[in-house]
Amino acid sequence: MKTHIALTLVISAGLALPVMAQQTTPSSQPTQTASMNEREPLPAETSTGFWDGDSPNLVNLVTHPFANKKYVQRMTRPIQDRLNELDEITTENRDKIKDVDGRAQHGIQLASAKADVADQHATDAGAKAQTAKMDATQASTRVSSAEQMVANLDQYKTGTQTEIRFRAGQSVLSKAAKDALDQMADSVKDQRSYIIEVQGFSAGRGQAAIAASQKMADSVVRYLVLSHQIPVFRIYVLSMGNAAVGGEGTAAKQPSGGRVEVNLMKNDLVTSARQ
């Protein structure tokens, strides 16, 4: 009888505990608030009663819920899901940061490359400007030299003088005349900046004397051009006829017979400027 009463009390206590647990469960659970602005809060655990599917007996009363593995897993699953979600967010943010950093580094490299190209262009422009300045200086120097040469073109000085004698009425060169012309031509071989002045004189009057002096002068020019390849543009011929001949401080005199004066004139200033 006593045993039956004790068993009845235990069963009554076991039936009263679920009721108390169900009454205290809603008030004991913390209110789930949206602690995160962008994420929804963890869903509240849906209560299925104190026994949670277990049979209401003394053994389950002693062992439930602390020794129930499934119960613990079910209670901790939302937390684990949120932790997994946070891991995914962290990984996503890390990837975004890595992508932004990569693009920033790429932009920095492009900017640096463009700066290097700009520096190279500036260096090339400076080198070209320096080259242009040097070319302008050289051109100015050449122009100055050319102006100096032009100014010195008529600065000829009398050098070798040779007199060629002819018999009356003849224009044939003698051996002595040819030797004298050979010596003069050899002195200007492979040279520049010189001219040869050939003046013919002849006795007589008027045009006859001029024509005779022209023939003798032409004989000298022909020999220099054919025998020594003296350029014609370097020879100046004057047919003086019976013009009086006389230097400074001497009395002029009429020519006797036929003769040709050959004057070699050089321009040493032009030669030195070219060198």
Q: Give residue 201's pLDDT band: very low, low, confident or very high (50, 70, 90).
A: very high
Q: Which residue has the higher pLDDT, 239 or 36?
A: 239
At 24 the pLDDT is: 45
Q: Is the pLDDT of residue 266 over 90?
A: no
Instruction: Evaluate whether 225 touches 232 at the Cβ level (below 8 Å).
Output: yes
Look at 56-70, 123-137, 256-270 and tell me which has the smallest mean pLDDT: 56-70
In sequence order, what DSSP letters do the residues of 24-74 get, joined into one string? HHHHHSPP----SSSSPPPPPPPP--SSTTS--SHHHHHHTTTT-HHHHHH
At 78 the pLDDT is: 83
Name the 3-class secondary structure at 231. coil
Structure confidence by residue, pLDDT tens digits, 8-42: 555 555 554 444 444 444 444 444 444 445 556 55
> What is the rounded distance in angstroms from the CA atom of residue 260 to the CA atom of residue 165?
7
| Domains of the chain, each with CATH number or no CATH | 2-26+36-67 (no CATH), 157-244+254-274 (3.30.1330.60)
Kindly list the distances between the CA atom of residue 242 and the CA atoms of 5, 168, 196, 211, in Å, as whole numbers in the listed order. 185, 13, 21, 10
Q: Is the pLDDT of residue 275 over 60?
A: no
> What is the rounded distance in angstroms from the CA atom of residue 201 to the CA atom of residue 256?
9
10 Å CB burial of residue 54 (0-12, 13-18, 19+) is: middle
Mean pLDDT of the chain: 76
> What average pLDDT score do residues 235-257 get?
68
**Which has the closest alpha carbon to 258: 271, 274, 239, 275?**
239
At 29 the pLDDT is: 43
Q: Is the pLDDT of residue 274 over 70?
A: no
At 145 the pLDDT is: 72
**For the chain, what's the residue count?**
275
At 142 the pLDDT is: 80
Amino acid letter, 84: N
Give the number of other Cβ atoms within 10 Å of residue 65's Cβ: 15
> What is the rounded distance in angstroms from the CA atom of residue 183 to the CA atom of residue 131?
50
Q: What is the pTM of this model?
A: 0.43
> What is the rounded distance in angstroms from the CA atom of residue 250 to the CA atom of residue 23?
160
Instruction: Evaluate whether 166 touches 260 at the Cβ level (below 8 Å).
Output: yes
Q: Give residue 56's pLDDT band: very low, low, confident or very high (50, 70, 90).
A: low
Q: Which two tokens mark 78?
A: 């939302």
Give the number of other Cβ atoms within 10 Å of residue 211's Cβ: 14
At 179 the pLDDT is: 93
Burial of 141-168, coded b for 16+ CB within 10 Å and e otherwise, reads: eeeeeeeeeeebeeebeeeeebebebee
Q: Which residue has the higher pLDDT, 53 or 250?
A: 53
Kindly list the distances between the CA atom of residue 198 and the CA atoms of 68, 163, 213, 228, 264, in Å, as whole numbers in the listed order. 142, 10, 10, 16, 9
At 206 the pLDDT is: 86
